[in-house]
């Protein structure tokens, strides 16, 4: 990986570390409130949300290092933030199957997705044949990124990338070509799972700054960022 990219990844990790430590401080303050169970649940939710944001940020940073996003929706991309081939992972008393989690987000079931299931319209996937084909690009314990991060949120983090379903080329396995609406725009999902199996998830719409100019490609710009509140998928 080029030195510039490595520094960029390190900067992202440091900023997220500071964010998580801020949440830890908030949790300590909340712990003195009159309703410890409620504040404890809020603390856990905030930590998981920051973990999900950490995973999404790492995927966004990996995209920023690429000049060409054409094949990312169909093939994904290689990042250093993985802990081996996708499969089951033990997280405390819970087990997460990375393949099943990817399938659930792609077609709404744990078993392998076919085109009919992936293209089926639902409230969570309303775009039909343009429904995202999620590619897993980040998956490892948060402690594997940084021990201090893992101490604040002892969770497992994942991130996926997919084509923007609103683009105009109608092909969810490739980024729209130059000149077509949606060129240089992708979706990223980040998730964090705790030992009890609780999950927080965020979705990010990210674009290449060059997509409407003649400037050299590279880098990324976040267009929108929000919690996924409608469940999985």
Residue 9, beta-bridge partner list: none
Residue 233 lies in a domain: no
How many angstroms separate the Cα of 157 from the Cα of each of 30, 120, 140, 201? 25, 28, 6, 10
Residue 26 lies in a domain: yes
Residue 232 lies in a domain: no
pLDDT in tens, 98-153: 999 999 999 999 999 999 999 999 988 999 999 999 999 999 998 888 787 788 88
Residue 200 lies in a domain: yes
Bridging pattern class, strands 94-97 and 88-91: antiparallel
pLDDT band of residue 92 (cuts 50, 70, 90) is confident
Residue 70 lies in a domain: yes
Q: Which domain holds residue 113?
A: 3-227
Range 142-148 contact pairs with CB under 8 angstroms and sequence separation of 24 or more: 142/51, 142/54, 142/192, 144/81, 144/83, 145/13, 145/54, 145/58, 145/81, 146/13, 146/17, 148/17, 148/21
Residue 41 lies in a domain: yes
What distance in Å separates the CA atoms of residue 38 and residue 222, rounded to the nearest whole number? 33
Give the count of domains, the chain: 1
pLDDT band of residue 202 (cuts 50, 70, 90) is very high
- Residue 140 half-sphere exposure, CB side, CA atoms within 13 Å? 20
Q: What is the mean pLDDT of residues 36-65?
A: 83
């Amino acid at each position: 990986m080029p030195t510039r990219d490595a520094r960029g990844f390190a900067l992202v990790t440091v900023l997220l570390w500071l964010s998580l430590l801020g949440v830890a401080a908030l949790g300590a303050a909340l712990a003195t409130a009159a309703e410890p169970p409620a504040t404890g649940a809020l603390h856990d939710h905030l930590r998981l949300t920051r973990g999900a944001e950490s995973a999404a940020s790492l995927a966004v940073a990996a995209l920023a290092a690429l000049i060409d996003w054409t094949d990312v929706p169909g093939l994904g991309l290689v990042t250093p933030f993985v802990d081996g081939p996708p499969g089951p992972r033990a997280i405390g008393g819970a087990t997460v199957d990375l393949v099943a989690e990817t399938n659930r987000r792609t077609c709404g079931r744990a078993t392998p997705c076919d085109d009919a299931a992936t293209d089926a319209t639902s409230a969570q996937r309303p775009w039909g044949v343009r429904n995202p084909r999620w590619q897993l690009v980040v998956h490892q314990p948060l402690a594997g990124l940084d021990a201090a991060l893992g101490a604040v949120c002892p969770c497992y983090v994942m991130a996926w990338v997919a084509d923007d379903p609103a683009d105009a080329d109608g092909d969810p396995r490739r980024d729209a070509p130059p000149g077509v609406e949606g060129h240089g725009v992708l979706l990223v999902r980040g998730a964090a799972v705790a030992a009890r199996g609780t999950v927080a998830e965020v979705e990010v719409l990210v674009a290449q700054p060059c997509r409407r100019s003649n400037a050299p490609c590279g880098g990324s710009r976040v267009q929108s960022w929000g919690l996924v509140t409608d469940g999985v998928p």
